[in-house]
Chain A
Amino acid sequence: MKLREEQTILRIVSKLLLPFILLFALYVQFHGDYGPGGGFQAGVIFATGIVLYGLVFGLEAAETALPPRWLQVLMPLGLLLYAGVGVANILLGGEYLNYNTLDAHDPVHGQHLGILLVELGVGITVAAVMVSVFYAFSDRGKD
């Protein structure tokens, strides 16, 4: 604990970097349909932000910022969002994950919306799983 408090440079630099890491994750997430990126990459980048925070400020601080209970909800939620989009497509009269159905007038817009939602689901689940793995490992040997 003492060691951690002495690392002033580390603490300040990570605090400065953190918003940009998370912002970059969101950029990779939502720009993924135009440029390189998507849910997997964005989820991992987002999780590295939390992991960095946990490494520098301690597990307790990270768990206050993003409680494990939330992760238990976020993990299935992302998958539900993904699978739910497909079910919505079926209900709208198309095949599973046929995004064309999402917009009755402009199928291209439908495709755009569909991939955005699906990748958002992927991003949420990947980020939550990555952070959970980190918590699970750093929690070991405490009790």
Chain B
Amino acid sequence: MTGLALLLEQLPALQVVLPLLAAPVCVLLRRPNLVWALSCLTSLGCLGIALTLARQIYPHGVISYAMGGWAPPFGIEYRLDELSVFMLVVVSLAASLVLIGARQSIQREIPADRIHLLYAAVLLMLTGSLGIISTGDAFNLFVFLEIASLSTYALVAMGRQRRALVAAFQYLVLGTIGGTFILIGVGLLYMMTGTLNMQDMAERLPPVLHTTTALAALAFLVIGAALKLALLPLHIWLPNAYTFAPSMISALLAAISTKVAAYVLIRFVYGIYDLRWSGLNLPLNDVLALLAVAAMLFASYVAVRQQEVKRLLAWSSLAQIGYIVLGLSLATSAGLAASTLHILNHAVIKAGLFVAVAAVLFRQGGSTLQLADLAGLSRGMPWTTAAIIAGGLGLIGVPLTAGFVSKWALLQALIESGTWLYVAALLASSLLAVIYVWRIIEACTASTGDRDIQRREAPLGLQLSIWALVAMNLYLGINSSPGMRLATEASGRLLAPTAGVPL
């Protein structure tokens, strides 16, 4: 076998190892620009690996990698199917596009002697996120979840205001509870099935499905994942974390953290358990759908009433998480495909908006951005304003933006399963989105009155990052079929009929 083919076989491990190696190197290098360049290269490298893997997996199916040479189910297996490779691309793409523009904004917001630590934490978060997605082992998933979460707490705490520390602490407490719940769930499952390999678990679970232990495990896993996902009643950490984190970190969090948590939830309720099992005797889909609808309506309503732009976007994220959960709660392949697609589309849209906010804050100074501060933005920073408008339209789901495609897919899935109340909720939530997006646009175009505000466009790096994300947003909106096809195939594999499904 040639060296290249050998290397190709190692890709499932390498894409997690690459950022894991780069993080300590960052701490040793210390020079801000050098560290930034290394982080960019690393995330681009991960993107390259993810795309190479996608080209292999989409036509040929699952790749299994035995970590350390120990064969699964006893060793730790890295198991990449269409859904995981789709998520790998989403995460590494979002990380690359945000990091490209991060240099100046981070330099402005973070003390020079901490910049290298920030990038190290970003790389560790990337390691954790990519690891969660790749691993086929439930305990390994928990470990990576902790790696990703711990580095996220540190990132939030680096925000400029002292309140960032409180936000990080709140996130730490709730995130740890979520992590612990997942660990308890995994432990209970291990007790019932005697295995930690998720594939193996799914095969051994049906005979013991009716035991209280197996149901308790499901409850722990779902609640733990919902905490990390910030699904409505468990959401209170998210608005503060997004508001007080450094601006570019907010973009990363919005694009990666909750999306990976959504993936974890999908893995638990379809990869190990199966929401379609009628034997479960548990109205879990209805519970999830209800919480999702509550998130869509309540969070959108709260977003309408916000005065601070980052906080408004954070509440809008909570509503969008509602869409994702609503789709997956339908337990149909159309619903799951819509959710999967919305994970990608919302990551691109929200990251674009948060980077645009970072650009405004870069010129404005300060660490919070009130709606009133946006006055006159359309004259001083017309390009950034255009990007904010494009992102806002995406949030509403206007045709020709990415948001439209996934919302349309979700709407079709809802109609297909005949859940008309949810259709109404989706439309109502979109109307609320129109209002809060309109408030941002109105603020951007408002006249400055007698105040004279001098603004110019943000530096090239930030512009590049914003426009790459906006271009992705529009591309996914105009050329909708490839994304839809990939998402459908990803959900198709997960919902494929497997042996041993009890009816």
Contact = CB atoms under 8 A, between A and B. Distances in A.
A in complex with B: yes
B68 to A, nearest CB: 4
B447 to A, nearest CB: 46
B20 interface: yes
Contacts of A83: 17, 20-21, 24
A123 interface: no
Among B10, B13, B23, B69, the most chain A Cβ lie within 10 Å of the Cβ of: B69
Q: Which 8 A-B pairs have the closest CB atoms?
A: A76-B24, A98-B69, A96-B13, A76-B27, A97-B68, A79-B24, A95-B69, A80-B24
Given A94-B69, A96-B67, A97-B68, A87 B17 contact: yes
A93 B26 CA distance: 27
A103 to B, nearest CB: 14
A29 to B, nearest CB: 20
A126 interface: no
B69 A90 contact: no
Contacts, number: 53
A46 interface: no
Contacts of A77: 24, 28
B66 interface: yes
Interface in A62-117: 72-73, 75-77, 79-80, 83-84, 86-87, 90, 93-100
B404 interface: no
Given A90-B10, A90-B13, A97 B67 contact: yes
Among A75, A87, A90, A96, the most chain B Cβ lie within 10 Å of the Cβ of: A96
Contacts of B23: 76, 79
A100 B25 CA distance: 27
Contact-residue bracket for chain A:
20 to 34
B10 A80 contact: no
B24 A96 contact: no
Main secondary structure of the interface of A (DSSP, over half): helix
Nearest to A76: B24
Contacts of B25: 76, 80
A94 B14 CA distance: 13
Given A83-B20, A86-B17, A96-B13, A73 B28 contact: yes
Contact of A96 (B6, B17, B28, B120): B17
Contacts of B21: 80, 83-84, 87
Contacts of A73: 28
Nearest to B69: A98
Contacts of B68: 95-99
A109 to B, nearest CB: 15
B301 interface: no
Contacts of A95: 10, 13, 65-69
B13 A75 contact: no
A84 B10 CA distance: 15
A111 to B, nearest CB: 10
A139 to B, nearest CB: 15
A76 B67 CA distance: 23
A66 to B, nearest CB: 17
28 contacts: A72-B27, A73-B28, A75-B27, A76-B24, A76-B26, A76-B120, A77-B24, A77-B28, A79-B24, A80-B21, A80-B24, A87-B17, A90-B10, A90-B13, A90-B14, A94-B69, A95-B10, A95-B13, A95-B65, A95-B67, A95-B69, A96-B13, A96-B14, A96-B17, A97-B69, A98-B68, A98-B69, A100-B69
